[in-house]
Amino acid sequence: MKYLEEYRDANLAHKLLKSILHLVEDSHSKITLMEVCGTHTMNIARAGIRRLLKDRITLLSGPGCPVCVTPYPFLDQAIAYSRSKDVIIASFGDMIKVPGSSSSLEREKAKGAEIQIVYSPLDALKTARENPNRKIVFLGVGFETTAPAVAATIMIAREQKIQNFLVLCGHKLVPPAMKALVMDPDLRIDGFLCPGHVSAIIGSKPYEFIARDHGVPCVIAGFEPLDILQSLEMLVRQITDGTSRVEIQYSRVVKEEGNPRAMDTMLEVFEPVDSTWRGLGMIPQSGLRIRGVYGGLDASVQIPVHIEKSAEPPGCICGQILKGAKNPTQCPLYRKFCSPENPVGACMVSTEGTCAAYYKYEE
Amino acid sequence: MCLAVPMKIIEMNAPEAVVELGGVRRRIHLALLATENLKIGDYVIVHAGFAIQKMDKREALETLKILEQMADAQ
């Protein structure tokens, strides 16, 4: 077992697809499902699944790309820090190109700012150790998958008394955003394909209110083509049976209880707070901030900085795209003024953004 | 960004381990898992330098079995 290739069998995929289309053959109305995770968006596009479902099932892409939902003030704060001579910014790669109100980290880098792309927050911690006279500001972006890794790094930094490692916290929580989507009167979602690796941490319980109180079926899905198809089949079956519950397709990784140790680590360092998402606005208790006891490692507390007034690019409909209300081809900038080489909005910048996925695979 | 991959543990030195996928080796941190349940040869899901969950072999096979049954039912 490699736990990858086994779930990519084309022959099996074809049969599963037929089974899904057979199930929806008799349904009167078109079914609308949403995949919440950016990695799902990318893999669905790569496998051509959206097209294969023909006109029977619409797959909407949700706000599952952390880079895309990060609001301008966070980026502008990071850009302001990068202009300070004693700061080194450390970040996951996707954040670097995202345009802020008047600049981007990439442009600041060209002007001489020190910006390090890291794979792990531990790499940023290493940079802090090696540069004791500089402040390392790590950009903490990501959902529940990523937040525990950043929390663990903060705990290690405190334990090892590394004074110059700081985190600008922009972490977000997925279930409160899903709640905002099911409450949105402009959207009708018949089922959620829930994010596999967020769920590896939080388990299946945090989605139960969606199935129970809102009657929307949820299936926690893996990322290989067969995982996605099987999850779609499970969703469609719930819909045609008239039931709504939370099912786990990705059971080789996701347990009902999630990963309690990772959850404890996350909540030791961070606490939930009201948070603004691009496209969705303020969502109660949907973000994380660093708890007061870890304030010594909180960049916002330790480095006060003036942030410019936010300005979003005119014409960009990232906001509508992020909540599945519109698709990229409905954007006036798409392809004409906004492409992966020259992105205007975040959904085109991130490799997991809906616009980038459409640009690369869907047309 | 929630991309995470199954990698095989080839060295254990808690709280760290060396993992491998397709010939690529990486040193990872095990702070987010109970190390007493891990051994060389296990697969873990790796994200941002940390193992975030252990792969359940029994469930992995079970999923494959269900997939094949679904296809056979056609």
Over residues A175-221, the pLDDT tens digits come to: 999 999 999 998 999 999 999 999 999 999 999 999 999 999 999 99
B4/A152 Cβ within 8 A: no
Report how many domains make up chain A. Answer: 2
Q: Which domain holds residue A292?
A: 1-313
pLDDT tens profile A145-182: 999 999 999 999 999 999 999 999 999 999 999 999 99
User: What average pLDDT does the segment B20-46 reach?
Assistant: 95
Q: Two tokens at A316? A: 């960009």
pLDDT digits (tens, 9 = 90+) for A218-244: 999 999 999 999 999 999 999 999 999
Q: What is the pTM of this model?
A: 0.95
Clarify whether residues A16 and A81 are in a common domain: yes
Domain-ending residue, one of A313, A332, A348: A313
Assess whether A166 and A184 both reside in one domain. Answer: yes
Contact A141 B1 (CB under 8 A): yes
> Six-digit token pair at A177?
């955003």
CB neighbour burial string for A11-39, b if at least 16 within 10 angstroms, e if fewer: ebbebbbebbeebbeeeeeebebbbbbbb
Are residue A169 and residue A87 in the same domain, yes or no?
Answer: yes
Residues A334 and A275 in one domain: no
Q: Examine the domain organization and report whether A290 and A335 are in the same domain.
A: no
CATH number of B5-72: 2.30.30.140
Start-to-end C-alpha separation, chain B:
36
Say whether pLDDT at A93 is over 70. yes
* Whether residue A214 sits in one domain with residue A336: no
Q: Which pLDDT band, with edges at 50, 70 and 90, does B74 fall under?
A: low
CB–CB contacts below 8 A, A to B: 143
B2, B34, B59 member nearest A37 (Cβ): B2
Give the three-state DSSP class for A211. Answer: helix
A302 has pLDDT over 70: yes
Please tell me whether residues A73 and A88 are part of one structural domain: yes
Give me A272's structure tokens.
Answer: 């939930």
* Whether the predicted pLDDT of B59 surpasses 70: yes
CA distance A196 to A202: 10
Q: Which residue in A197, A229, A233, A268 has the most chain B C-beta atoms within 10 A of its own C-beta, making it the best mutation to test that interface?
A: A197
B73 reaches A (C-beta below 8 A): yes
| Both tokens assigned to B74 | 């056609």
- Residues A218 and A170 reside in one and the same domain: yes
Helix, strand or coil, per DSSP, at residue A22: helix
Look up the CATH number of the domain holding residue A52.
3.40.50.11740
Same domain assignment for residues A184 and A59:
yes
- Both A16 and A143 in a single domain? yes
Q: In Å, how far is B45's CA from the nearest CA of chain A?
A: 8
Domain match, A287 and A324 both: no
Which residue among A15, A148, A227 sits closest to B71, beta carbon to beta carbon? A15
